[in-house]
Structure 1
Amino acid sequence: MEGLESVYTLVAGSISCTQDAVVCFVHWAIIKNGYKCLGSGDEPGSADRRSELLPANWNNNKELYTLRYQANDGTSHYLLKATTVDANLVIFNLMNPSTQQDSALTVDVRDHVDAEWLHSFHHVYKDADSLTEKVTTQLLSAPEEPSPRGSKAKTNASADGRDEEEEGRWRRREVEHDPLRIPTRHTRHEVQPQWPDPFAVGGADLDPFNPQGGGMTVDPRHTMPSRFDPSSGIPGAILPPGAVPPGARFDPYGPPEPEPDHLPPPGFD
């Protein structure tokens, strides 16, 4: 933990809570990875200077800490914000303003700071190696400069174009085969349903020679032979002989002649 003791000792008198201690630690880890602190706040100020130390007013706001950093080579600038969620939770966000890339780290201060030893560097931090690794891998790995334009970028662009074109074809195919979609037009390759002619209803009943038969209750061509000929007239009826054409469908008037196996009426002798 080279350098951490010096950084902490210089600000130990202003540290009043566990959040201050963990922000001081994250600051040291960023400096260790090749950065310098420019100052506090979102905008540059007249008192800004490149330093490994924390600025004078770094912890004035206990709910939101804001610090600005610059890479040692002077090419990249970063904005660090530490938001206090509650007494035990601090969320760090590091953003590169030029690329709008950012990263985040959530720290439970109870895992890394002993609140009873805030003014003793040798006892205040717990599991410092784990916190250092989190800052390096989660907070400092994401904010990077944009990739240069070149053949690789063009290749990725063309690949993205092909992916978008392929995705568009699949979307159109899903729409065309959507079972809930109502088609707006028919192509020549589609088979149209064969709907029955509504004016043909009852045609079989009107045609006595229809081979399919009709819907009448009595069909003289498909029932048992009758004992009488309708064309000869019916005794006691109003139809004279010849009134019913041969082969025509005819429902006889009244009940047919009694058969031996018919049930006799009550009192019949």
Structure 2
Amino acid sequence: MAGDPLYGWDLTFKTVEKDIKKKSDVLVAFIHWNLTKRGFRTIGIGDERTLTGDEEKSELLPTGWNDNENYTLRYVLEDKLYILHGLNTDGNLIINLMRSEDLQVTNIAVKTEDVVKELSGPVNKMMPDHKDLMFNIKRDLIDTITSKATTSSETQTTTTRVESNNRMPPDDPLRIPRPQPNVQPDTHPWDMPPSPLRNLGRSDLDPFAPGAGGMLFNPFGPNRLPDDPGMGIPGGLPRGAVPPGARFDPFGPPGAGPRPGRRAPPPDADHLPPPGFNDHMFM
């Protein structure tokens, strides 16, 4: 019945039983049967790597398949050429299956005397460990070179591609975060000057701030404190000593201390010399 893993083996062996000469012949016949079960068809012996399209495909081993010490068989699967090499060396049979299209090769090695006990009879007597051998042939010799392995790799590649497409993009430090509902944005002490401070430099920190000064203080702006040229002079200057609007450097250093009842004096605001003034102190 078709559900029997050994279905077809007895028929295959009967067709080659009269040709069996040595134990490696039994192994090659068993491997051939496993190949035909999976769609391979023989087209003769030799290692010719081209197909003409006129080859006769068969489930039977070709005439002369075991005439030599080693084996070279040609197979076709889905219009692709495969070449089976069997090499007897040091009591082992080394089997290579090569796909001619891209020279991909799979192989297995079998200790002939350990696996094949008899040249004829039921498979349990000829090859007591035939189940393990079938598993190794399928896994290491056939599946890794046929379309099953290709389909598996394509499925894995497709799955990887889908996962890659579904993966969230990494955080972009230049991307402006979207505001989340009911979430207050984080604030830091360097975002805005504290409210008790004057608005000096506010526009440099906040381009949307209302009218305010920049980082440079404007001595002629509305925030300028009144000049006090009498700083550093006990009692100050007498009334009228400095004409109104005249540029006059104070006698004392800035911050020397205000007179009683007066506000603290501003820094020296005399940034530029008077028009036409040149004392050759600046190069």
Specify which structure has the bigger relative contact order, considering alpha-carbon pairs within 8 angstroms and separated by 6 or more residues. Answer: 1
**Which structure has more helix as a fraction of its residues?**
1
Relative to the length of structure 2, the TM-score reads 0.47
